[in-house]
Structure formats: structure tokens, C-alpha cells
Amino acid sequence: MNDQIKNDSTDTLAMIIEGVFGFFGLLGVGWMYVGDIGKGILIMLGMWVFIAVESIVGVLTGGLAMCLFAPIHIVIVIFSAIKLRDHVRQTGAQGSIGIVAVVGILFFVLCCVSIFLGFSSIVALFSNFGIN
């Protein structure tokens, strides 16, 4: 009985992790959480490619394509979360929150570095035009 309860909480937590991280562009973290690191990385890279295509097409169409891509993005995240829940229920996989913490910290550091580089680029651009 305790094993069933533990699996139920693992599949729910994995689904929540996959959904929340997926909406922020880190689809695949839930798969990593249950120990399927390779599949999680492939899903994450695939999502990044989709986001890049989504962004380029969105800019080229003046944002009109986002009316199509935003719902597709949401459906992909929900689909992955449900597939992950089913996978955990079938295999009885157990989660490790450590991998979620590592990915979260790396993502935070990457965001901070990106913001710093973005502001540095803006400052350098303005200084080239003599604007202080």
C-alpha cells in the first residue's frame, strides 16, 4: 500500500515539474527527475529548437504566428507531462529532486549571465554613439 502511495506522489510531482519547467522553456526536466536523463536532454533540446523557430517565424510575421505557436507550445508541454505521468505509473520510476535543483540553478545562472551580457551590449552600443 505504501509503494502505491509513493508512486502516486512521484507521478504527480513529475508531471508538475515537467509542466512548470516546460512552460519556462525547460521541457524535459521531469524526465530527468525520474532518471531518464538522455530522454530529458533530447526533449529539452527539441523544445529549444521549437522555441527558436517559433521566435524567428514570430518576428518575420510581425507576431501573427504567435497566435498559432502559443497554443502549440502549451499543448506540447501538457502532452509531455501526461506522457511522463503514464511512464512513471507503468515503470514505477522514482524521482530525484537533486537533478531538478541542478537544472534550476544552471538555468538561473544562465539567465543572470544573459541579462548581464545584454546590458553590457546596450551600454557598449550607447557609448559608441557618445551617449552616456
Residues 14-60: tens digit of each pLDDT = 999 999 999 988 899 999 999 888 999 999 999 999 999 988 998 89
103 located within any domain: no
Domain count, the chain: 1
Q: Let me know if residue 92 belongs to a domain.
A: yes
- Left (φ > 0), alpha (ψ -120 to 50) or beta: where does 93 sit? beta
Residue 32 lies in a domain: yes
Q: What is the pTM of this model?
A: 0.74
Q: Is 62 a domain residue?
A: yes
Q: Are 44 and 26 in contact (CB under 8 A)?
A: yes
114 part of a folded domain: no
109 inside domain:
no
